[in-house]
Chains A and B, each alone.
Chain A
Amino acid sequence: AQSVSQHNHHVILSEAASLELGCNYSYGGTVNLFWYVQYPGQHLQLLLKYFSGDPLVKGIKGFEAEFIKSKFSFNLRKPSVQWSDTAEYFCAVRHSGNTGKLIFGQGTTLQVKP
Chain B
Amino acid sequence: EAGVAQSPRYKIIEKRQSVAFWCNPISGHATLYWYQQILGQGPKLLIQFQNNGVVDDSQLPKDRFSAERLKGVDSTLKIQPAKLEDSAVYLCASSLGQGAQDEQFFGPGTRLTVL
Which residues of A line the B interface, CB within 8 A?
A: 4, 32, 36, 42-46, 49, 51, 90, 92, 94, 96-97, 99-107
Contacts and interface: CB of A to CB of B under 8 A. Distances in A.
Interface string B73-84: 000000000000
Contacts, number: 59
A101 B42 contact: no
B87 interface: no
B110 to A, nearest CB: 12
Interface string B1-44: 00110000000000000000000000000010100000011111
Given A46-B103, A97-B100, 5 more contacts: A43-B106, A46-B104, A90-B42, A104-B43, A107-B42
Contacts of B109: 43
A49 B95 CA distance: 15
A4 B43 CA distance: 12
A104 B35 CA distance: 10
Closest 6 CB pairs of A and B: A104-B42, A44-B106, A100-B98, A43-B106, A99-B98, A104-B43
Nearest to B59: A101
B31 A100 contact: yes
Nearest to B6: A43
Would you call the interface of chain B mostly helix, strand, loop, or mixed? loop
A4 to B, nearest CB: 7
Contact of A92 (B42, B48, B50, B102): B42
A32 B101 CA distance: 9
Given A92-B42, A107-B41, A102 B3 contact: no
Given A32-B100, A44-B106, A100 B40 contact: no
Contact count band on B:
20 to 34
A94 B48 CA distance: 14
Nearest to B107: A43
11 contacts: A44-B93, A46-B103, A96-B100, A99-B50, A100-B33, A100-B48, A101-B33, A101-B45, A104-B44, A106-B42, A107-B40
